[in-house]
């Protein structure tokens, strides 16, 4: 698939969608507490997107159809708890103290997508778990700060993986960042590992996500029978952070920011 280059008008619409996605994550943070179910979090996000923002939750009915979910993905957000790497489906299980959870939100506003995720903690967590969350965020930030015209995606993937490995964590390889715009998932694929001097050369106007999934144990993953939920094969903890961005004349602009969640370049 050809990589889409966005115009300044396109980018302005993506700024709006990106900010709205970030504001959903701002809103939901105070509700991520012991005793709440991820279904309850999903409903709060759905109602906020639809009734407050007038946006469309992009994940509802998205993607492939299964016997269990004949219309595609069944919920408005993804909630990935503890050893769930990504695409965790909200359910009736209650969060408990010590849990970590990634909430992944994608909104559609005027036909354009904004996609972002953050980690949340429930109560007190061990120091090694907090380090996993922090290093994963740093991996994302390292990748973002490298984005500029002429940079190759292999260099970005290499830097992300190098930081994770230096801190004795592993990098999930089966799932990656992606181009985004009017289409939810488009080219290029943005891997979170790679070789220097390889991969797509970035150009002004490219829009994509960087969203490393980092494990406290081994990197290997397993897809559950619902054909959506991805877990670590060894049941070790996993963390993820995600931003949507655009390549500018001289570097990068992160689009999924809000008043409560800035990006420090």
Domain membership of residue 61 (yes or no) is yes
Residue 174 pLDDT > 80 = yes
Specify whether the CB–CB gap between 158 and 195 falls below 8 A. Answer: yes
CA distances from 57 to 14, 19, 49, 113 (A): 15, 14, 7, 10
The CATH number for 71's domain is: 3.90.230.10
Cβ contacts of 164 within 8 Å, gap of 6 or more:
135, 136, 139, 170, 171, 212, 214
Q: What is the pLDDT of residue 64?
A: 87
What is the DSSP code string of 38-55? Answer: HHHHHHHHHHIIIIII--
| Number of domains present in the structure of the chain | 1
The 8-class DSSP code of residue 29 comes to G
- Domain assignment present for residue 87? The answer is yes
Asked if the structure places residue 213 within a domain, the reply is: yes
d(C-alpha 47, C-alpha 72), whole Å: 20
Q: Tell me whether residue 260 is in a domain.
A: no
How far, in Å, CA of 115 to CA of 259, rounded?
17
pLDDT tens digits, residue range 205-232? 999 999 999 999 999 999 999 999 999 9
pLDDT in tens, 29-81: 999 999 999 999 999 999 999 999 999 999 999 998 888 999 999 999 999 99
Task: Indicate whether 72 belongs to any domain.
Answer: yes
- Please tell me the distance from the alpha carbon of residue 129 to that of residue 244, in angstroms, as a whole number: 25
Residue 261, φ and ψ in degrees, nearest 5: -140, 85
Expressed as residue numbers, the domain containing 13 is: 8-254
Are 202 and 247 within 8 A, CB to CB? yes
SS3 (DSSP) at 178: strand
State the pLDDT at residue 66: 87
Residue 110 maps to a domain: yes
Looking at per-residue confidence, does 65 or 165 come out higher? 165
Asked whether residue 102 is assigned to any structural domain, the reply reads yes
């Amino acid at each position: 698939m050809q990589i889409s280059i966005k115009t300044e008008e396109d980018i302005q619409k993506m700024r709006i969608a990106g900010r709205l996605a970030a504001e959903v994550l701002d809103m939901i943070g105070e509700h991520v507490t012991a005793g709440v179910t991820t279904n309850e979090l999903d409903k709060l996000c759905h109602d906020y997107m639809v009734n407050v923002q007038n946006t469309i939750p992009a994940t509802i009915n998205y993607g492939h159809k299964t016997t269990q979910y004949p219309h595609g993905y069944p919920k408005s957000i993804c909630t990935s708890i503890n050893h769930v790497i990504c695409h965790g489906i909200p359910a009736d299980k209650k969060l408990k103290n010590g849990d970590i959870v990634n909430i992944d939100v994608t909104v559609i506003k005027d036909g354009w997508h904004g996609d972002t995720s953050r980690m949340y903690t429930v109560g007190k967590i061990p120091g090694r778990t907090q380090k996993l969350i922090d290093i994963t965020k740093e991996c994302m930030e390292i990748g973002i700060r490298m984005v500029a015209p002429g940079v190759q995606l292999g260099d970005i993937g290499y830097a992300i993986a190098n930081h994770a490995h230096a801190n004795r964590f592993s990098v999930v390889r089966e799932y990656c960042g992606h181009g985004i715009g009017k289409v939810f998932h488009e080219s290029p694929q943005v891997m979170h590992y790679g070789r220097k001097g390889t991969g797509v050369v970035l150009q002004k106007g490219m829009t994509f996500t960087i969203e490393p999934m980092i494990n406290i144990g081994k990197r290997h993953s397993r897809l559950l029978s619902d054909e959506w939920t991805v877990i670590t094969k060894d049941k070790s903890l996993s963390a993820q952070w995600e931003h949507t961005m655009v390549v500018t004349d001289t570097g990068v602009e992160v689009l999924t920011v809000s008043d409560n969640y800035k990006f420090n370049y």
